[in-house]
Amino acid sequence: MGVSATALLAVTALSSTATAAPADKPQVLSSWTQTTASSYNAFIAARNNQGAWSAYGFNWTTDYCSTSPDNPLGFKFELPCARHDFGYRNYKAIGTFDANKARLDSALYEDLKRVCAPMSTVPKAACNSLAWTYYQAVKALG
């Protein structure tokens, strides 16, 4: 009886470990939610290969720009909004949202400005104005 109880505990411990998210989940999450272009690009690569990250249990769901247009005036804001949702959902899940919200909102703004950057003067000004508006909205309401 003692041997089988010990074996049961060992199997239970192994199965619990196998289903737990890797210990570096907060570091990976942080690396994908910084304000830099390299962080954004790493997130997009991971998003395109979500299966490789399944052990982490990340929430990849998105409603893109929520109730705001995803492509206002034709500006492609979907992916920046998807990364913003990713950060919000996953930091809430691990209980550290409040400590990270300001950076997530700033990352959204930087991502939106990157969408605008290659445009010519007039559309770029309109795009940057919308980026600022989206940033102010998430800062206040997000």
Spatial CA neighbour of 59 closest among 48, 50, 49: 50
| Catalytic residue from among 25, 32, 82, 84 | 84
Quote the CA–CA distance of 83 and 109 in Å, as a whole number: 11
Q: 31: Cβ–Cβ under 8 A, 6 or more apart, which residues?
A: 39, 42
Query: Is 84 known to be catalytic?
Result: yes
Tokens of 56: 């982490």
DSSP per-residue codes, 108-125? HHHHHHHHHTTS-HHHHH
DSSP per-residue codes, 84-105? HHHHHHHHHHHT-HHHHHHHHH
115: exposed, middle or buried (C-beta count within 10 Å: 0-12, 13-18, 19+)?
buried
- What are the residue numbers of the active site? 84
